[in-house]
Amino acid sequence: MARLELKIPPPLVALLVAALMALVASWPPLFALPAAARVGIAVALAAVGAAFDVAGLVAFRRASTTINPLHPERASALVTGGVYRITRNPMYVGLAFALLAWAAYLGSPWALPGPVAFVGYITHFQIVPEERILRARFAQFDAYAARVRRWL
């Protein structure tokens, strides 16, 4: 399973999970929420996700470090300010919120495991390997990890 570490871009993982969610969303039962409520919830969750994503990208750009999740060894700085004071992985949090938004929009209980599966996969195959590399690269990583949660 180590072969999957840092191999699949997290946005692609999210798209694959979203596609699977759409496939199972037509299975009964469906939530009895009106379409307007589902859309409203989805828009709110998507907005939160976009805010986390953009804040993470902006912080990386300001620090002039790589945003490529497949090559954390190229990081030139450990970003700990801004949204990184709330979560160590705001871009992954953003993707998880996007999947929650998609689940709300789909209105199916069968879609709800999708975001959970995404979090599990990304934690195991992306975040843990990234942290291993960042810990070896930046002496202050352990202190940072002790202060800030991995997710929320």
In a domain, 28, yes or no: no
In a domain, 152, yes or no: no
Q: Residue 28: count other Cβ atoms within 10 Å of its Cβ.
A: 7
pLDDT at position 2, please?
A: 84
In a domain, 52, yes or no: yes
Confidence check: pLDDT of 30 > 90: no
b/e 105-138 (16+ beta carbons within 10 angstroms → b) = bbbbebbbebbebbbebbeebbbebbbebbeeee
Domain count, the chain: 1
Q: Distance between terminal CA atoms of the chain?
A: 26
In a domain, 90, yes or no: yes
In a domain, 142, yes or no: yes
pLDDT at position 78, please?
A: 98
Give the confidence band of 72 by pLDDT, cuts at 50, 70, 90: very high
In the 3-class helix/strand/coil scheme, how is 112-146 assigned residue by residue?
CHHHHHHHHHHHHHHHHHHHHHHHHHCCCHHHHHH
Per the omega criterion (within 30 degrees of 0), is the bond before 72 cis? no
What range defines the domain where residue 125 resides? Answer: 10-20+33-147
- CA separation for the pair 70, 146 (Å, rounded): 24
Q: Which residue has the tokens 């570490």?
A: 5
**pLDDT > 90 fraction of the chain, expressed in percent and rounded:** 94
* Average pLDDT of the residues in 66-95: 97
